[in-house]
Amino acid sequence: MKKIAFILFTIITSTILSQNNQKIISGHIYLDSIPVQDVHIINKKLDIGTVSNENGKFEILASKNDILIISHLNIEFKEQAITDKNISTKKINIFLDSKNYMLDEVVLERKKGIFEIDKDILPHNGPIVNAKTLKLPYANSKKPDKDNTVEIESGLSFSVVGLINALNGKTKQKKLLRKLKAEDKNIKKIRQYFTDGFFVQQLKIKRESINPFIEHCISKGIMNLFYKEKLLELTSVLIDNSKNSPYLIEKENTRVTQK
């Protein structure tokens, strides 16, 4: 009895499909040639639907001129018509476009500091807040005299006393520090290039006096020769300056012998 019912159901279904020319269409959903999963496909005429799998594949019942509605959260909504070719091949490939989201215009305002006071919420009869009421250490300090202040055309002003102190103090210290760093860098370059053996064995300079000797030779312009790669001239200058140098090993020995 069950077999007879199944045969009747198959015959009736086949008859309905043949009358409406409906077929099961196998298709794929692509986004930039990449299969897309979880895309909803709905036959608008038959009001039936399905969802694509991890390979972008789906199957749906359709006939010629049926409209398939394709939708996904991140993909542009699309309608696809079923053609004669889709019916004859029972296949369809649908290519989609990614969805673009338009954001509302955003106006960036100036950042407020933590000490900035909103005038709209400031009480009119509230307490006065300043250096004196807060008892800060500089509350009673006086402004510098106008005579000791210099103004330039740009509108910037500075204290003459402060300027002199800066020139005599920190500014000179910074310049001296930069000079010492530059000299130290130059000494390292010369010492690395010639090695200590050259100064001790060839020039007979005491090892502990190599740096003072190089510093003396830098004043003779050896760095200019070094950067221009005039190494023969540089070597000649070092040899000439080592002949009567107070840093020679022989001179140290001579002093010891005289004593």
Q: Is residue 86 part of a domain?
A: yes
| Average pLDDT, 10 consecutive residues per value, the chain (259 residues) | 52 52 90 90 91 94 92 85 92 84 64 61 62 67 58 50 60 76 88 89 91 90 90 91 87 53
pLDDT at 176: 74
Q: Is residue 62 part of a domain?
A: yes
CATH number at residue 80: 2.60.40.1120
pLDDT at 156: 46
Q: Residue 5: inside a domain, yes or no?
A: no
State the Cα–Cα distance between residues 97 and 100, nearest whole angstrom: 9
Last residue of a domain, one of 67, 96, 125: 96
Give CA torsion, residues 247, 208, 194, 182, to 10 deg.
-100
State the pLDDT at residue 9: 47
Q: Do the domain assignments include residue 39?
A: yes
Q: According to the model, what pLDDT value does residue 116 have? A: 62
Structure tokens at 76: 């542009």
Is 137 contained in some domain? no
Entry pTM: 0.35
Angle at 79 between CA 75 and CA 84, to 5 degrees: 130
**Residue 83 domain-assigned (yes or no):** yes
Number of domains composing the chain: 2
Q: Which domain holds residue 189?
A: 173-258
Domain presence at residue 134 = no
User: What integer pLDDT is reported at residue 58 of this predicted model?
Assistant: 95
Last residue of a domain, one of 45, 73, 96: 96
CA distance 39 to 37: 6
Residue 125: what are its φ and ψ, rounded to 5°? -110, 25
- Reported as half-sphere exposure (CB side, CA atoms, 13 A), residue 196 has a value of 6
* The last residue of a domain, from among 35, 64, 96: 96
Q: Is residue 149 part of a domain?
A: no
| 94: Cβ contacts below 8 Å, ≥ 6 apart | 27, 28, 29, 30, 68, 70, 78, 80
